[in-house]
Every structure is written in C-alpha cells, then in structure tokens.
Amino acid sequence: MNDLSPRGAVLADHPLAPAERLFRKLAGERLDILSTAWVRLESGRQVPEALVEIRSVAHKIAGTAASLGHSALGWHATEVERLCDEGSGRQELQRALRPLISGLADLVED
C-alpha cells in the first residue's frame, strides 16, 4: 500500500481515496448493526439473526480494511468472522467483537 497517512488511512488524492471515504461513511452504519447485534447476544434474544448480521459485517470489513491501511480493524474483523464460522460461544464472540466495535467507533469519531 502506498501513500498512507500517519494514521494509516489513505490520502485524499490517492486512487483509493473514494474507497476510504465510503469505508468511513459506512463505518457508522456498521457500528450500529454490530452494537444492536451485541445487545441481542447479551439478552439472548434473536441470537441466530444477530450472528448472521455480525458475520456479514465482519466479512465485509475483513475484506477491505487492511487494504485501506486499517490493519488492526481488518484483523479483528477476520477473527470475528472466523468465530462465527466455527460456531464459537457467545462470550468468546463478544470478547472478539469488543475491539472491532471500538475500532469502528474511533473511525466514526475521526
């Protein structure tokens, strides 16, 4: 990856800048989905639906974050996707979700 800013994101005139802008724009929406799913996991209600949504969002972030310079976010998303695929326990999944949600929140605040 070339021309990364000090924070790891893509500079404005870079060919990947439109992707980076969209990634940031959708970060809020994805944060909402993951937060809602977290609450469902916590309450034990609509857990299967929550797992589908968590996996879908994690899969999308895992596929793009690292290429846009957000390596840590990509790594956490990959981990969450893996746990979903392996049918891991709720606590383990929530533990993995925490840094992913936190990373997305940081991105939204930027």
Considering the complex, what minimum distance in angstroms separates the CB of residue 109 from another protein? 19
Closest CA to 101 of 83, 109, 9: 109
Task: Print the binding letters for residues 15-54 with another protein: x by CB under 8 A, - otherwise.
Answer: xxxxx--xx--x----------------------------
Q: How far is the CB of 28 from another protein (least distance, A)?
A: 13
How far apart CA 58 and CA 3 sit, in angstroms, is 26
**Which residue reads 């800048």 in tokens?**
17
Per CB under 8 A, does 62 bind another protein? yes
User: 31 vs 10, 14, 16, 83, CA distance in Å?
Assistant: 21, 26, 22, 18
Where does this chain bind another protein (CB under 8 A)?
1, 14-19, 22-23, 26, 59-60, 62-68, 74, 78, 81-82, 85
